[in-house]
Amino acid sequence: MTKPVTVAEIVTFRLADGADETAFISAAAAVEDKLQSSGQMLARTLSRTEDGLWTDHVIWRSQEAASAAAQEVMQSPVCAPFLALIDNDSVAMSHGAIARRMD
């Protein structure tokens, strides 16, 4: 039997002009609650560099789970405030099978 492949989703972006960081972090928490309810998200880290580049690093049980969650986020009213605070033109997303993980 093949072991399921966990997937890292890495999204980098900047906040929209005038977006409040505190409001953004609160909105990110609401998205997290939504994603955790599926049981497919294993971990999430949200970070920001000094020059304002954000990285959302999520570990999923599978690529299928990551893809399903992306569709759900785009359609969910709970996630709309989070998405509204992101500069869409700055978003870059990638997925990769996790070769090694250290917690």
What is residue 102's predicted lDDT score, i.e. its pLDDT?
84
Sequence spans of domains, the chain:
7-97
Instruction: Supply the DSSP symbol for 31.
Output: H
Pair of tokens at residue 38: 């599926």
Residue with tokens 């359609």: 75
Report the SS3 class of residue 93.
strand
Pair of tokens at residue 69: 């969650």
Mean pLDDT by 10 residues, the chain (103 residues): 81 97 95 85 96 97 92 91 97 96 82
What is residue 92's predicted lDDT score, i.e. its pLDDT?
98
What is residue 34's predicted lDDT score, i.e. its pLDDT?
82
d(CA 88, CA 2): 37
Task: Name the pTM for this structure.
Answer: 0.90
Note the CATH architecture for domain 7-97: 2-Layer Sandwich (3.30)
